[in-house]
């Protein structure tokens, strides 16, 4: 990576510069609306839906919400990670020169989306790419990484095993490490989607004022999935000072809501072991992303949802929006639909005017086979289990990381 001494400051202006740098290499992904999902978001949950949750017996929230979906599932390699990877590689080339970067090559560890993104960015500039992937990575993501011409090295699933494998590659090849999320160049690259989303929503409302709740002419809030925190941090940096609130969403399964729990405790949780279906979010925050995500001036709140919530939201997107997404992509939507703490917060802060909320669909890298298994009756949580709140039940910290 470009040296920390030469990285740009984490500001909205730097995100704009990153966007200028990577524009030739990324898709300007669309923003979609959906009347049905916005109506569902604005409809109180039934008492039956809240049975067995910490909100049972409480009056359901009645927020007014209009949803705008930033469809990064249509991004190159099918996920937002292309933004950070291209920015990191181009910054590396600026610092070291293309021939030196080609001579050394690049290396990373990733369960899939960053792997494919870095492989694509490296191939674009004829740079050798070495990708360390856990053996439990999704087969389609392994195949996608190999299809970009990368050298795939397999490792165990823990962070220690992956980092040891990366160290071996660096020792053998001299390749430069491009981290999956915990570096300013990655954070700034991922934040470019927020600049686009803000502009696109304003343009949509200018053309059709009926799309907005109340008199708002743009976004009131954005919610994004949180794994290692690169995308959430990037969005928060890009929107800092605009008045647009930024929120993070996580899976609660097996302690996957490490960012929420860490912020609540005032200390970063460094290790996570969860087999949530949201496989792109199985990673703890890094040192750099923690500083941003834990700062309420940047990220206003973190919320968690169950596996069943994720599946319910994914089914709605597939069937009502006709939009192909992976489980990680819908964690933000699941929060809006099913997490009463989030819904009550919107009702309280937005009042009768309501909020226009941008929802990041982070990627679409899954398969029909995986979806079929996911919705089989014996897979996942019981139907009665619903959202975890800001104070969730899955509170026990566990020992290792399984994906990046």
Report residue 204: phi and psi, to 5°: -65, -45
Q: Where are the domains of the chain?
A: 12-78+186-374, 80-181
- Whether 80-181 and 12-78+186-374 are alike in CATH topology: the answer is yes
Using a pLDDT cut of 70, give the percent of the chain over it.
Answer: 92
The yes-or-no verdict on residue 385 having pLDDT over 50 is: no
- What is the biggest distance separating any 2 CA atoms in the chain, rounded to whole angstroms? 65
In CATH, what is the architecture of 12-78+186-374?
3-Layer(aba) Sandwich (3.40)
DSSP 8-state class, residue 378: T
130-156: pLDDT as tens digits: 999 988 887 888 998 999 999 999 998
**pLDDT band at 9, cuts 50/70/90?**
very high
Q: How far is CA 221 from CA 68, 182, 262, in A?
A: 10, 24, 23
Q: What is the pLDDT of residue 3?
A: 57
Q: Which fold has domain 80-181?
A: Rossmann fold (3.40.50)
DSSP 8-state class, residue 25: G
DSSP 8-state class, residue 318: I
pTM: 0.91
The yes-or-no verdict on residue 112 having pLDDT over 90 is: no
Instruction: Let me know if 77 is exposed, middle or buried by CB neighbors in 10 A (0-12, 13-18, 19+).
Output: buried
- 391 CB contacts (<8 Å, ≥6 apart)? 54, 264
**pLDDT band at 1, cuts 50/70/90?**
low
Q: How far apart are CA 233 and CA 210, in angstroms?
A: 31
* Catalytic site positions: 81, 111
274-297: pLDDT as tens digits: 999 998 898 899 999 999 999 999
Q: How far apart are CA 287 and CA 110, in angstroms?
A: 17
CB atoms within 10 A of CB 264: 15
Q: Exposed e or buried b for every residue in 85-116, given b needs 16+ CB within 10 A? A: bbbbbbbbbeebeeeebbebbbbbbbbbbbbb
The separation between the first and the last C-alpha atoms of the chain, rounded to the nearest angstrom, is: 17
3-state secondary structure of 350: helix
Q: What is the mean pLDDT of residues 201-227?
A: 96
3-state secondary structure of 274: coil
Q: What is the pLDDT of residue 140?
A: 83
């Amino acid at each position: 990576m470009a040296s920390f001494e030469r990285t740009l400051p984490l500001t909205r202006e730097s995100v704009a510069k990153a966007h200028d740098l990577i524009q030739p290499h990324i898709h300007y992904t669309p923003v979609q609306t959906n009347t049905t999902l916005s109506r569902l978001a604005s409809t109180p949950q039934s008492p039956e839906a809240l049975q067995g949750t910490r909100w049972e017996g409480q009056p359901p929230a009645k927020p007014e919400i209009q949803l705008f979906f930033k469809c990064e599932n249509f991004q190159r390699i099918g996920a937002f990670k292309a933004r950070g990877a291209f920015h990191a590689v181009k910054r590396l080339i600026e610092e070291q020169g293309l021939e030196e970067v080609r001579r050394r090559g690049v290396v990373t560890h990733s369960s899939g989306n960053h792997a494919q993104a870095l492989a694509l960015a490296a191939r674009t500039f004829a740079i050798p790419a070495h990708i360390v992937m856990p053996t439990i990575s999704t087969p389609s993501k392994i195949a996608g990484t190999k299809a970009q011409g990368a050298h795939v090295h397999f490792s165990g699933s823990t962070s220690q095993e992956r980092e040891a494998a990366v160290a071996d590659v660096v020792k053998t090849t001299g390749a430069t490490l491009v981290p999956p999320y915990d570096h300013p160049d990655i954070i700034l690259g991922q934040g470019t989607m927020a600049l686009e989303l803000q502009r696109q929503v304003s343009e949509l409302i200018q053309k059709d004022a009926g799309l907005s709740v109340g008199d708002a002419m743009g976004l009131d809030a954005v919610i994004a999935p949180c794994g290692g925190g690169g995308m959430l941090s990037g969005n928060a940096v890009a929107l800092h000072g605009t008045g647009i609130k930024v929120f993070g969403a996580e899976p609660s399964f097996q302690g996957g809501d490490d960012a929420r729990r860490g912020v609540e405790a005032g200390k970063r949780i460094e290790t996570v072991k969860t087999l949530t279906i949201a496989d792109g979010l199985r990673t703890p925050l890094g040192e750099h992303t923690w500083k941003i995500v834990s700062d309420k001036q940047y990220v206003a709140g973190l919320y968690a949802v169950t596996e069943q919530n994720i599946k319910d939201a994914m089914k709605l997107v597939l069937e009502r929006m006709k939009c192909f997404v992976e489980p990680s992509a819908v964690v933000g939507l699941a929060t809006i639909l099913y997490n009463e703490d989030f819904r009550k917060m919107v009702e309280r802060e937005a009042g009768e005017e309501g909020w226009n909320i941008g929802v990041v669909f982070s990627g679409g890298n899954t398969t029909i086979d995986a979806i079929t298994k996911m919705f089989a009756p014996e897979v996942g949580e019981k139907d009665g289990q619903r959202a975890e709140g800001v104070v969730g039940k899955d509170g026990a910290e566990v020992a290792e990381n399984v994906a990046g």
